Copies of this chain bind each other. A is one copy, B any other.
Amino acid sequence: MEFESCFPVWDKLTAEQQGRLQKQLALRSFKKGAQVHGGRAECTGLLLVKAGQLRAYILSSEGRQITLYRLFERDVCLFSASCVLRSVQFEVTIEAEKDTELWVIPAEAYQRVMQQSAPLANYTGEVMAARFSEVMWLVEQLLWKSMDKRLAAFLLEEAAIEGTARLRITHEAIANHLGTHREVVTRLLRYFQAEGMVKGSRGAVELLDEKRLSALAADQI
């Protein structure tokens, strides 16, 4: 899989614009758990995922985390290049959630092409709108949903991403996705287990009743 076939508006760029981007491209690999982007001043560049999985999250001053969204094959990460958009006033951290290969497009090269190219500028807007929608979903969850419903939704989403009902994940990691404390996750999973919805073991959670978890996540029980 080559960059040209992965990058959505490639065909709408001029040969000169394509050349400018291609000259600056770098293919990089990250091991699962590695930090890909983070910190205030950094402008890593845009990332295009070739293979693997990234997680974007924010950090509180006390070190608590919450997952904003995930990036999969062919997804573009904008906020690792927030210097491109002057109006972006927040910082996200990006980590490799699986072994990941990605292309880095330096922010300056991208910005120069985007300033000339309506297709690239419009594409960038669409990417931002997609991430914005994911964050708005999170806002609604934080506002109107209790933690048990958010946990049920998270377990179902994980099972869908991983393609298995047996998730290898710690309570600590779940807490870092949901912006809560490990103790809260442990208490809720104990309750889910008592109700027969999941079965827990060391470092793993098995989903036993996805139908009931779905109903809980959807506010039906």
Contacts and interface: CB of A to CB of B under 8 A. Distances in A.
Interface stretch (A18-26, A113-121, A167-175): A113-121
B133 A90 contact: yes
A115 B121 CA distance: 9
A208 interface: no
Interface of A: 58, 60-62, 64, 66, 85-90, 114-118, 120-122, 124-133, 135-140, 142-144, 179
A8 to B, nearest CB: 12
Contact of A132 (B66, B115, B117, B135): B135
Contact of A58 (B125, B140, B179): B140
A62 B140 CA distance: 12
Nearest to A60: B144
A128 B128 contact: yes
A183 B179 CA distance: 26
Nearest to A123: B121
B125 A128 contact: yes
B64 A133 contact: no
A130 B140 CA distance: 20
Contacts of A132: 88, 90, 128, 131-132, 135
Nearest to A89: B133
Contacts of A126: 85-87
Contacts of A90: 132-133, 136-137, 140
Contacts of A86: 126, 129
B129 A87 contact: yes
A98 B118 CA distance: 36
